[in-house]
Amino acid sequence: MKLLITTAVTAVIASTVAFAGTTAPGDVAFKDGAVAVSLTGAAGNAADGRAVFADRKLGNCLACHVNSEMPEQSFQGQVGPPLDGAADRWSEAQLRGIVSNSKNTFEGTIMPAFYVDAGFTRPLGKFEGKTILSAQQVEDVVAYLLTLK
Amino acid sequence: MGMNLFKTTAAVAALAIMATGAAQAGEDAKLVINGDLSIATQAAAPAHLENLETVYSGWVFRTKETQALEMDDFDNPSFVFVDVALDLYAAVDGTEGKSCASCHENVEDFAGLTTSMPRVNADGALETTTDLINECRTERMGAKAWKYSGTDMSAMLSLVGLQSRGMPVNVAIDGAAAPYWDKGKELYYTRVGQLDMSCSNCHEDNYNVMIRADHLSQGQSNGFPTYRLKNAKMNTIQARFKGCMKNIRAEPFGQGSDEFKALELYVASRGNGLIVETPSVRN
């Protein structure tokens, strides 16, 4: 019995530690639409971000944006601006803010907020209380966007 | 000479622009069905539409190949389902020993009905054509109601709608319809789901642009039910609402719910002046 309790306590501590550096969706600090601090406390991985960007069930960014760095992907959308040269136009903090919740940068935009988990009307059950991307995926996409110069 | 060259250049440029338009199908394509039924695919926006000047049929935004399928009833796959509905129309069903044809001898008598639906009935309730059909089945035929957007219902809606093909949409939005219309309008502009989008975000603010491989339309309902190449069946407008809501990760309202009926009325009203194309073909 003692062993079981110890194991359980250790597991709780371990999971707390694992997410200690992660900012919860409701705690993200926006300043003029930008988010200065990494959501994970570390830099993202651009290669992983490239995959998240293209994945139709994750970023699905090509639904609305042209990105000529991905010529292998056909039918790139035109709803939003092309992302070519995004890193020349926006800072890392601004890109993190736009991916996390672009409504703080572009009022009334159609663009979904990728790191917001509350305040939606009639969210489909399996997405209720969830963000579209994880903190890690947001950071990975930001790292990828920073390569678009 | 210089002038001639300029003229030629201008003419070539104009041709190039026209060719581009044709490749995307575009607003200038003409819809003529069976070589003799000419259907206008755009109209001046109704006065209540504040943010659009012109309304366009969804046909305008489809590829030339998809457009062509609607231009001949032999090519239009919808007519397989219209034929199914003709059989259903004549088939006795229910405890009263009646078919549709027992009371409505000629289906042509339904000409004009679809142009005014949904509408408010004598009891003050908003009713769709679907409601009318099921009311006949349950109250006069003693038959079971059909599933709201099921195969039988979508086929019968196609047959009934076909009788109004070529006639302008003209649903009532004032008087008794006003509170339903207001509710539908509110739903149209309300952002829902995890993607947090309203109907207007795509179909008013961004029609005529590509969302990935799809050319966004104004979401007009003048061609519904529509045969979609995507699922090879007739699609009712409320089934399409459901699909759209799920796409934006929103919990859909029920088929036949007050919300979807109000939205059906409001969406139809956005196309007042467009021509009924039922049964249409879309991607």
Residue of chain A whose Cα is closest to the Cα of B245 = A124
Q: Do B192 and A124 touch (CB under 8 A)?
A: no
**Confidence band of A17 (pLDDT split at 50, 70, 90):** very low
Both B249 and B118 in a single domain? no
The H or E element containing residue B42 is: strand B42-44
Distance of alpha carbon A78 from alpha carbon A82, whole angstroms: 8
ipTM for the assembly: 0.87
Exposure class string for A118-138: b at 16+ Cβ within 10 A, else e: eebebbbeebeebbbbbbbbb
Q: What percentage of chain B has pLDDT greater than the value 70?
A: 90
Interface check B7 vs A, CB under 8 A: no
Q: Per-residue pLDDT tens for B194-237?
A: 999 999 999 999 999 999 999 999 999 999 999 999 999 999 99
Residue A119 CA, chain-centre distance (Å), reads 17
Both B13 and B145 in a single domain? no
User: Helix A135-145 crosses helix A92-101 at what angle (to 10 degrees)?
Assistant: 130
Distance from CA of B207 to the nearest CA of A (A): 9
Both B206 and B266 in a single domain? yes
B136 annotated active-site: no
Q: Do B213 and A120 touch (CB under 8 A)?
A: no
Both B24 and B149 in a single domain? no
Residues of A in contact with B199 (CB under 8 A): none
Range of the domain at B215: 2-75+172-282
Range of the domain at A84: 2-145
- Flag whether B167 is in a domain: no
- Flag whether B144 is in a domain: yes
Structural domain tally of chain B?
A: 2
Interface check B206 vs A, CB under 8 A: yes
Rounded to two decimals, what is the model's pTM?
0.89
Residues of A in contact with B249 (CB under 8 A): 123-124, 127
The CATH number of residue B177's host domain is 1.10.760.10
Q: Per-residue pLDDT tens for B27-66?
A: 678 999 999 999 999 999 999 999 999 999 999 999 999 9
- Count CA within 13 A, CB hemisphere, residue B141: 25
The CATH number of residue A80's host domain is 1.10.760.10
Residue of chain B whose Cα is closest to the Cα of A73 = B212
Residues of B in contact with A120 (CB under 8 A): 192-194, 196
Higher pLDDT, A11 or A85: A85
**Confidence band of B25 (pLDDT split at 50, 70, 90):** low
Structural domain tally of chain A?
A: 1
